[in-house]
Protein backbone atom coordinates (compact mmCIF):
# COMPACT_ATOMS: atom_id res chain seq x y z
CA UNK A 1 0.00 0.00 0.00
CA UNK A 2 1.36 3.44 -0.94
CA UNK A 3 1.81 6.07 1.74
CA UNK A 4 0.41 9.52 1.06
CA UNK A 5 3.13 12.16 0.97
CA UNK A 6 3.44 15.76 -0.11
CA UNK A 7 4.04 16.56 -3.78
CA UNK A 8 7.45 17.95 -2.80
CA UNK A 9 8.49 14.70 -1.12
CA UNK A 10 7.09 12.67 -4.01
CA UNK A 11 8.99 14.82 -6.52
CA UNK A 12 12.26 14.18 -4.67
CA UNK A 13 11.61 10.44 -4.75
CA UNK A 14 10.59 10.54 -8.41
CA UNK A 15 13.69 12.47 -9.41
CA UNK A 16 15.98 10.08 -7.54
CA UNK A 17 14.29 7.04 -9.12
CA UNK A 18 14.41 8.50 -12.62
CA UNK A 19 18.04 9.53 -12.28
CA UNK A 20 18.97 6.02 -11.17
CA UNK A 21 17.03 4.33 -13.98
CA UNK A 22 18.14 6.77 -16.69
CA UNK A 23 21.55 8.21 -15.76
CA UNK A 24 22.14 9.56 -19.28
CA UNK A 25 18.78 10.84 -20.59
CA UNK A 26 18.40 11.91 -24.19
CA UNK A 27 15.72 12.67 -26.74
CA UNK A 28 14.33 9.96 -29.02
CA UNK A 29 14.40 12.31 -32.01
CA UNK A 30 17.38 12.37 -34.36
CA UNK A 31 18.55 15.94 -35.04
CA UNK A 32 21.89 17.62 -35.78
CA UNK A 33 20.96 21.21 -34.95
CA UNK A 34 18.22 23.48 -33.59
CA UNK A 35 16.37 23.70 -36.92
CA UNK A 36 16.28 19.93 -37.39
CA UNK A 37 15.08 19.46 -33.81
CA UNK A 38 12.30 22.01 -34.31
CA UNK A 39 11.15 20.29 -37.52
CA UNK A 40 11.33 16.83 -35.98
CA UNK A 41 9.36 17.94 -32.92
CA UNK A 42 6.64 19.47 -35.09
CA UNK A 43 6.41 16.22 -37.06
CA UNK A 44 6.25 14.17 -33.83
CA UNK A 45 2.81 15.51 -32.93
CA UNK A 46 0.41 12.54 -32.98
CA UNK A 47 3.24 10.38 -34.34
CA UNK A 48 5.96 8.18 -32.86
CA UNK A 49 9.51 9.48 -32.71
CA UNK A 50 10.68 6.28 -34.41
CA UNK A 51 8.54 7.02 -37.45
CA UNK A 52 9.65 10.64 -37.55
CA UNK A 53 13.25 9.42 -37.60
CA UNK A 54 12.51 7.45 -40.77
CA UNK A 55 11.18 10.57 -42.50
CA UNK A 56 13.59 13.34 -41.52
CA UNK A 57 16.71 12.03 -43.35
CA UNK A 58 15.03 12.45 -46.71
CA UNK A 59 13.40 15.71 -45.64
CA UNK A 60 16.75 17.26 -44.66
CA UNK A 61 18.49 15.81 -47.71
CA UNK A 62 16.10 17.70 -49.98
CA UNK A 63 15.79 20.84 -47.86
CA UNK A 64 18.69 21.10 -45.37
CA UNK A 65 18.06 24.68 -44.19
CA UNK A 66 15.11 26.95 -43.39
CA UNK A 67 15.83 28.94 -46.57
CA UNK A 68 15.73 25.77 -48.67
CA UNK A 69 12.53 24.47 -47.09
CA UNK A 70 10.88 27.88 -47.46
CA UNK A 71 10.92 27.34 -51.23
CA UNK A 72 9.71 23.73 -51.17
CA UNK A 73 6.60 22.88 -53.23
CA UNK A 74 3.75 22.16 -50.81
CA UNK A 75 2.70 18.92 -52.54
CA UNK A 76 6.27 17.59 -52.57
CA UNK A 77 6.72 18.36 -48.89
CA UNK A 78 3.40 16.68 -48.08
CA UNK A 79 4.52 13.58 -49.94
CA UNK A 80 7.75 13.34 -47.94
CA UNK A 81 6.14 13.79 -44.51
CA UNK A 82 2.94 11.82 -45.23
CA UNK A 83 3.95 8.86 -42.99
CA UNK A 84 3.88 11.12 -39.91
CA UNK A 85 0.15 11.78 -40.25
CA UNK A 86 -1.75 15.07 -40.43
CA UNK A 87 0.62 15.90 -43.25
CA UNK A 88 -1.50 18.71 -44.74
CA UNK A 89 -1.40 20.86 -41.62
CA UNK A 90 2.18 19.86 -40.75
CA UNK A 91 3.40 20.80 -44.21
CA UNK A 92 1.76 24.22 -44.02
CA UNK A 93 3.24 24.79 -40.56
CA UNK A 94 6.71 23.75 -41.68
CA UNK A 95 6.61 26.07 -44.70
CA UNK A 96 5.41 28.88 -42.48
CA UNK A 97 8.11 28.09 -39.92
CA UNK A 98 10.85 28.02 -42.55
CA UNK A 99 9.77 31.35 -44.00
CA UNK A 100 9.53 33.04 -40.62
CA UNK A 101 12.93 31.73 -39.52
CA UNK A 102 14.42 32.87 -42.83
CA UNK A 103 12.75 36.28 -42.98
CA UNK A 104 12.50 37.30 -39.32
CA UNK A 105 15.30 35.47 -37.56
CA UNK A 106 17.97 35.49 -40.31
CA UNK A 107 17.87 31.73 -40.65
CA UNK A 108 18.68 31.11 -36.98
CA UNK A 109 16.43 29.44 -34.41
CA UNK A 110 15.82 31.99 -31.65
CA UNK A 111 16.86 31.29 -28.06
CA UNK A 112 13.82 32.72 -26.30
CA UNK A 113 10.46 31.08 -25.75
CA UNK A 114 8.71 34.35 -26.63
CA UNK A 115 10.24 34.33 -30.11
CA UNK A 116 9.90 30.60 -30.65
CA UNK A 117 6.15 30.53 -30.08
CA UNK A 118 5.69 33.07 -32.89
CA UNK A 119 6.88 30.42 -35.36
CA UNK A 120 4.04 28.48 -37.06
CA UNK A 121 3.57 25.03 -35.54
CA UNK A 122 5.57 25.86 -32.41
CA UNK A 123 3.67 25.94 -29.13
CA UNK A 124 5.19 26.06 -25.66
CA UNK A 125 5.98 22.33 -25.49
CA UNK A 126 7.94 22.38 -28.75
CA UNK A 127 9.69 25.59 -27.72
CA UNK A 128 10.82 23.98 -24.46
CA UNK A 129 12.10 20.91 -26.31
CA UNK A 130 14.10 23.03 -28.74
CA UNK A 131 15.53 25.38 -26.12
CA UNK A 132 16.83 22.54 -23.96
CA UNK A 133 17.73 20.08 -26.70
CA UNK A 134 19.58 22.56 -28.90
CA UNK A 135 20.86 25.17 -26.45
CA UNK A 136 20.71 23.59 -22.99
CA UNK A 137 18.30 26.30 -21.84
CA UNK A 138 15.78 25.33 -19.16
CA UNK A 139 13.08 27.93 -19.71
CA UNK A 140 10.24 25.52 -18.96
CA UNK A 141 9.39 21.83 -18.69
CA UNK A 142 7.91 20.26 -21.80
CA UNK A 143 4.64 18.47 -21.04
CA UNK A 144 3.79 15.77 -23.54
CA UNK A 145 1.38 12.87 -23.17
CA UNK A 146 3.84 10.84 -21.07
CA UNK A 147 4.71 13.68 -18.68
CA UNK A 148 1.03 14.56 -18.34
CA UNK A 149 0.01 10.98 -17.49
CA UNK A 150 2.88 10.24 -15.12
CA UNK A 151 2.65 13.55 -13.25
CA UNK A 152 -1.04 12.95 -12.53
CA UNK A 153 -0.63 9.30 -11.60
CA UNK A 154 2.13 10.16 -9.14
CA UNK A 155 0.15 12.99 -7.55
CA UNK A 156 2.56 15.69 -8.67
CA UNK A 157 -0.35 17.73 -10.04
CA UNK A 158 -4.12 17.83 -9.95
CA UNK A 159 -4.24 19.62 -13.29
CA UNK A 160 -5.08 18.00 -16.61
CA UNK A 161 -4.02 20.74 -19.06
CA UNK A 162 -0.37 21.08 -20.12
CA UNK A 163 0.32 24.68 -19.07
CA UNK A 164 -0.95 24.34 -15.47
CA UNK A 165 0.81 20.98 -15.23
CA UNK A 166 4.03 22.62 -16.37
CA UNK A 167 3.68 25.33 -13.72
CA UNK A 168 3.23 22.70 -11.01
CA UNK A 169 6.22 20.65 -12.14
CA UNK A 170 8.46 23.69 -12.43
CA UNK A 171 7.81 24.39 -8.75
CA UNK A 172 8.59 20.81 -7.73
CA UNK A 173 11.78 20.08 -9.67
CA UNK A 174 15.04 22.06 -9.69
CA UNK A 175 15.35 24.27 -12.75
CA UNK A 176 18.55 22.58 -13.89
CA UNK A 177 16.62 19.28 -14.07
CA UNK A 178 13.63 20.40 -16.14
CA UNK A 179 14.83 19.26 -19.55
CA UNK A 180 16.13 15.95 -18.26
CA UNK A 181 12.92 15.34 -16.28
CA UNK A 182 11.05 15.49 -19.57
CA UNK A 183 13.41 13.05 -21.27
CA UNK A 184 13.38 10.67 -18.32
CA UNK A 185 9.59 10.71 -18.00
CA UNK A 186 9.22 10.00 -21.72
CA UNK A 187 11.49 6.96 -21.43
CA UNK A 188 9.72 5.87 -18.23
CA UNK A 189 6.30 6.30 -19.83
CA UNK A 190 7.28 4.13 -22.77
CA UNK A 191 9.07 1.41 -20.85
CA UNK A 192 7.22 1.20 -17.51
CA UNK A 193 4.30 3.57 -16.92
CA UNK A 194 2.34 2.68 -20.04
CA UNK A 195 -1.03 4.35 -20.58
CA UNK A 196 -2.96 1.08 -20.74
CA UNK A 197 -0.76 -1.51 -19.02
CA UNK A 198 1.59 0.10 -16.53
CA UNK A 199 4.10 -2.30 -14.97
CA UNK A 200 3.19 -1.28 -11.43
CA UNK A 201 4.25 -4.50 -9.72
CA UNK A 202 7.85 -4.12 -10.88
CA UNK A 203 8.04 -0.31 -10.68
CA UNK A 204 10.50 1.23 -8.23
CA UNK A 205 7.98 3.98 -7.50
CA UNK A 206 5.23 1.63 -6.30
CA UNK A 207 5.83 2.41 -2.62
CA UNK A 208 4.98 6.10 -2.99
CA UNK A 209 2.77 6.16 -6.10
CA UNK A 210 -0.95 6.77 -5.42
CA UNK A 211 -1.71 5.23 -8.83
CA UNK A 212 -4.26 7.86 -9.78
CA UNK A 213 -5.82 7.94 -13.22
CA UNK A 214 -6.69 11.28 -14.87
CA UNK A 215 -10.42 11.96 -15.20
CA UNK A 216 -11.79 11.05 -18.60
CA UNK A 217 -12.99 13.87 -20.82
CA UNK A 218 -16.73 14.35 -20.67
CA UNK A 219 -18.62 13.29 -23.75
CA UNK A 220 -20.49 16.11 -25.50
CA UNK A 221 -24.26 16.10 -25.11
CA UNK A 222 -26.28 14.63 -27.95
CA UNK A 223 -26.84 17.04 -30.76
CA UNK A 224 -24.05 19.34 -29.61
CA UNK A 225 -20.53 19.69 -30.99
* Residues in binding site: 193, 200, 203, 209
Catalytic status, residue 111: no
The verdict on whether 144 is a catalytic residue reads yes
- C-alpha distance across the termini of the chain, in Å: 42
Task: Please tell me which residue in 92, 103, 106, 144 is annotated as part of the active site.
Answer: 144
CB of 16 within 8 A of CB of 207?
no
Choosing from 125, 148, 168, 180, the catalytic residue is: 125
State the number of CA atoms in the 13 A half-sphere of 174 facing the CB.
7
Report yes or no: 45 and 90 within 8 Å, Cβ to Cβ.
Answer: yes
Annotated binding site for [4Fe-4S] cluster: 193, 200, 203, 209
Which residues have a catalytic role annotated?
Answer: 125, 144
Amino acid sequence: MSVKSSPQATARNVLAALQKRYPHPRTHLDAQNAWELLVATVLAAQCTDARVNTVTPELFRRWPTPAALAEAPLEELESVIRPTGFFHSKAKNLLGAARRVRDVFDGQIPKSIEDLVTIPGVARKTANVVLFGAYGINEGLAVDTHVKRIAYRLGLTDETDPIPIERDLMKLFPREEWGDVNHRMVWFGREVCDARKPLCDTCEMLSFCPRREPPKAAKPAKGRK
